[in-house]
Amino acid sequence: METFRGFIAVEVPVTDQIIQFQQDIRKTDANVKLVEPENIHITLKFLGDMPVKQIDAIESIMKRAVSSAQKHTITLESTGVFPSENYIKVIWIGIKGSEKISEIADILNQHCTQIGVKKDKRGFSAHLTIGRMKSAHGKEQIIDILRKYENTLFAEIPVNEILLKKSTLTPKGPIYETLSTIPLYE
């Protein structure tokens, strides 16, 4: 049975401010793996390994999730980390105006159980992953950069569609391919 590693996402065009934020992180000696600019996105639902024959069912769930969602704009603003500054795993940019994408993510989370995807117990947390800390080395430098950018407006992004993406893991990082695009309504 042919499978693919998949997720449902909102694409985010990379701005100069996001690039600058990543460049400042890169200048530290912190042990951080940055997300490649072309791979930056907002994950609405991680699916994991899925049978290719489930793509139609996934598209149906995606259409249901956006059935009452209109096109809108979100604001990329502020910075932070998961789970905490004492133990940094993920460096992120925050999202304001995320109520609609949160609703879409919640519907996806509910209905993807029908195709064998486990429900996320933590629920959706609107953020844009910028990088992952591989060790605590350089943590203080990262915290300083977060403070520098904590009130930065990175971008206003139109949300016009959600995408089913295929992720192929390689030694140089993941390669993403869009399998399906589901538009939001006017």
Which tens digits make up the pLDDT trace of 135-160?
999 999 999 999 999 999 999 999 99
Give me the number of domains the chain comprises: 1
Q: Which of 155, 156, 129, 141 is nearest to 44 (CA)?
A: 129
The reply to whether 41 belongs to the active site is yes
Integer angstrom CA distances of residue 83 from 74, 88, 89, 133, 144:
23, 6, 7, 11, 17
Alpha helices for 2-136 (secondary structure H):
16-26, 55-65, 99-111
Which tens digits make up the pLDDT trace of 43-88?
999 999 999 999 999 999 999 999 989 999 999 999 999 999 999 9
* Coil, strand or helix at 62: helix
pLDDT at 4: 97
The reply to whether 111 belongs to the active site is no
Residue 142: CB partners within 8 Å, gap ≥ 6?
A: 25, 28, 30, 32, 81, 88, 91, 133
Integer angstrom CA distances of residue 157 from 12, 54, 82:
7, 30, 23
pLDDT at 15: 95
Q: Give the CATH number of the domain where residue 97 resides.
A: 3.90.1140.10
Q: What is the pTM of this model?
A: 0.94
Which tens digits make up the pLDDT trace of 116-139?
999 998 889 999 999 999 999 999
What domain range includes position 86? 3-183
**Annotated catalytic residue, options 72, 111, 127, 137:** 127
Would you say residue 104 has pLDDT above 80? Answer: yes
Residue-level length of the chain: 186
